Amino acid sequence: QPSGNQAPDVGAGQKRAAVCFACHNADGISKIPGTPHLAGQERSYLENALRAYRDGQTRQNPTMNPMAKPLSDRDIVNIAAYYSSLARSGQGQK
Amino acid sequence: QPSGNQAPDVGAGQKRAAVCFACHNADGISKIPGTPHLAGQERSYLENALRAYRDGQTRQNPTMNPMAKPLSDRDIVNIAAYYSSLARSGQGQK
């Protein structure tokens, strides 16, 4: 479930997600086979995935574990909010 | 990368995916927090995820490991093709 009580900050999530754009793109539609689209993805799923990549136990991936390692709980909530706020079609904010 | 040389069979994938509909829905837009939308997701990502859940090493999830366990390589290719063929908006076939 979404962590903490502070509301997610989509703007901060967009800034913090800049490192993700290389593969997932700012619009959340990936151009790389094997890399998932994140646009409009279910928010708590994205949070859970980022936490699992950060912890490196239940989800092991050579790219995502190091990417998620430095993320704070707030970063995770904000990044998940950012990508889930995007239109599933890939045209930016819903 | 997509496995084998036979073209994926979306129709067979739709049939085999019936067990997935309970959480992911036939249109690939999930109604359950924490359960990802699959509609129009990137095909080889879905294949890789299903193989990882089936193998239970790099992706451990109490729901998805047993769900993926009985899937054959063909099932995985077809199910991934089915869900990735769906409109990202959730209105069925692209």
Question: Which two three-digit tokens encode residue B65?
Answer: 């490991």
Q: Is the pLDDT of residue A4 over 80?
A: no
Mean per-residue pLDDT for A70-87?
Answer: 98
Interface check for B62 against chain A (CB to CB < 8 A): the answer is no
pLDDT tens, position by position, A38-68: 999 999 999 999 999 999 999 999 999 999 9
Asked if residues A58 and B60 have their Cβ atoms less than 8 Å apart, the reply is: yes
In this complex, the residue of A34, A40, A90 whose CB is nearest that of residue B48 is A34
- In chain B, whose CA is at the least distance from the CA of A28? B41
Instruction: Tell me how far apart the alpha carbons of residues A42 and B36 are, in angstroms, rounded to a whole number.
Output: 5
In this complex, the residue of A35, A45, A58 whose CB is nearest that of residue B45 is A35
CB contact under 8 A, A40 and B37: yes
Domain ranges of chain B: 10-85
CATH topology of domain A10-85: Cytochrome Bc1 Complex; Chain D, domain 2 (1.10.760)
Better pLDDT: A2 or B18: B18
Instruction: Tell me how far apart the alpha carbons of residues A94 and A15 are, in angstroms, rounded to a whole number.
Output: 18
In this complex, the residue of A33, A59, A89 whose CB is nearest that of residue B42 is A33
pLDDT tens, position by position, B54-71: 999 999 999 999 999 999
Interface check for B55 against chain A (CB to CB < 8 A): the answer is no
Q: Which residues contact B36 (CB under 8 A, 6 or more apart)?
A: A41, A42, A45, B24, B30
CB contact under 8 A, A59 and B59: yes
pLDDT tens, position by position, B20-52: 999 999 999 998 999 999 999 999 999 999 999
